[in-house]
Amino acid sequence: MVAAIVGGWRWQEARHQGMKLLVFGKSGQVATELQRVVPAGWSARFLGRDEADLQNPAQCSAAVRKAMPNAVINAAAYTAVDKAEEEKGLAYQINAEAPGAMAEAARDLDIPFLHISTDYVFDGSGTKPFLPEDQTSPLGVYGASKLAGEEAVAEAAGNWLILRTSWVFGGRGANFVGTMLRLGAERENLNVVDDQIGGPTPASAIAAALLECAKAMVGGQAGGTYHFAGAPFVSWADFARVIMSQAKLDCRIDAIPTSSYPTPAKRPQNSRLDCTSLEKDFGILQPDWRAALPHVISELSE
């Protein structure tokens, strides 16, 4: 069973010495955390835009073939949800065409390919947590581009793993926790949506889960589509209240409906993800986002 620790990960087995990992992404939230938790004895190369431009799928494919790694992780993506409504072509290039090219190269080398996806592939209807096999129906371009990426990865027909996650936060990059800390220090009260429910997910936990999955797949385990999100489920407003409390900020959070905060792209109201299959197949438990939050707040406050 995988053992979690705040701000990182404790590996229970010192196996796979000499493992060679290639990661697309360098400065994003998950890529940053991956750099922190790569096990001793592994080598990992992290590709930024200067070495692998995701607008150039052929370049991404060539990078995989040149590196000849034991496994590939794609931790890079176009994540500007609202801007994607205007930049559809760019979103599809980065989120669909590039991962497809990476997956094909990994297939040809007979190595695992791991790819991060999102709760936005669902329409957010109902109140039950979505299972990996549930019907997808994205509400906007961002979700549609990520779903197209999933389909391209699966169509490559190699040993692939898609890890859908939600509400990612960490000590680096732009995220909800950082925004709340900044605004909470400036204002007496904030209006925050309370009818969108999901699982905030520490970037450090995603990084650790990906490495555990990569280790298992290099050892012969098959991949597939899985969900990985934090627990317990919470609204954005309640998440904000916990942030203010832990950061000791005297900022009142006033709950508002989604209709009072219109955005160019629609957000799913139900972002609950059922993560039981990942626990069953890989032994990876849902992380408690409340345990990771103090470390992230401390890092962002610095």
Q: Of the given ranges (95-104, 170-179, 192-201, 239-248), which has the lowest mean pLDDT?
A: 170-179
pLDDT, position 40: 84
Per residue in 27-59, pLDDT (tens digit) is 899 999 999 999 888 999 999 988 999 999 999
pTM exceeds 0.85, yes or no: yes
Strand-pair partners of 116: 163
What architecture does CATH give domain 3-173+200-232+272-287? 3-Layer(aba) Sandwich (3.40)
Say if residue 13's pLDDT is above 50: no
d(CA 104, CA 85): 28
> Which of 39 and 286 is assigned the larger pLDDT?
286
Q: Which of 4-8, 158-162, 177-181 has the lowest mean pLDDT?
A: 4-8
Closest to 139 (Cα-Cα) out of 119, 166, 155, 115: 119
Structure tokens that stand for 133 in this block: 């096999």
Residue spans of the domains in the chain: they are 3-173+200-232+272-287
Q: Are 125 and 136 in contact (CB under 8 A)?
A: no
Is the pLDDT at 140 greater than 80, yes or no? yes
Structure tokens at 152: 């391209």
Sequence-distant contacts of 242-246: CB under 8 A, at least 24 apart: 242/290, 242/293, 243/177, 243/180, 243/181, 243/184, 243/293, 243/297, 244/180, 244/184, 246/293, 246/294, 246/297
User: What is the model's pLDDT at position 50?
Assistant: 87
Q: 114 phi and psi, to 5 degrees?
A: -115, 135
Predicted pLDDT of residue 17 = 62
Indicate if the pLDDT at residue 208 is higher than 60: yes
> According to the model, what pLDDT value does residue 5 have?
31
Mean pLDDT score across all residues of the chain: 92
User: Residue 297, exposed/middle/buried by CB under 10 A (0-12, 13-18, 19+)?
Assistant: buried
What distance lies between CA 50 and its chain's CA centroid?
22
Supply φ then ψ for residue 141, to 5 degrees. -65, -45
pLDDT band at 4 (very low <50, low <70, confident <90, very high): very low
The pLDDT of residue 197 is 98
Average pLDDT of span 176-194 = 96
Position 286 scores a pLDDT of: 96
Active-site amino acid positions: 142
Confidence band for 16, pLDDT divided at 50, 70 and 90: low
Query: What's residue 9's pLDDT?
Result: 34
Residue 12 has pLDDT above 80, yes or no: no
- Whole-number Cα distances in Å, 154 to 69, 118, 185, 217, 243: 20, 15, 45, 16, 38
Q: What is the pLDDT of residues 87-137, one digit of tens each?
A: 999 999 999 999 999 999 999 999 999 999 999 999 999 999 999 999 999
**Residue type at position 260:** S
Cis omega (within 30 of 0) for bond into 132: no
For residue 188, what pLDDT band results from cuts at 50, 70 and 90?
very high
Which residue shows structure tokens 């991956």? 34
Tokens 């832990």, located at residue: 246
Q: What is the pLDDT of residue 173?
A: 78
Share of the chain above pLDDT 70, in %: 94
Q: Band of the pLDDT at 259, cuts 50, 70, 90? A: very high
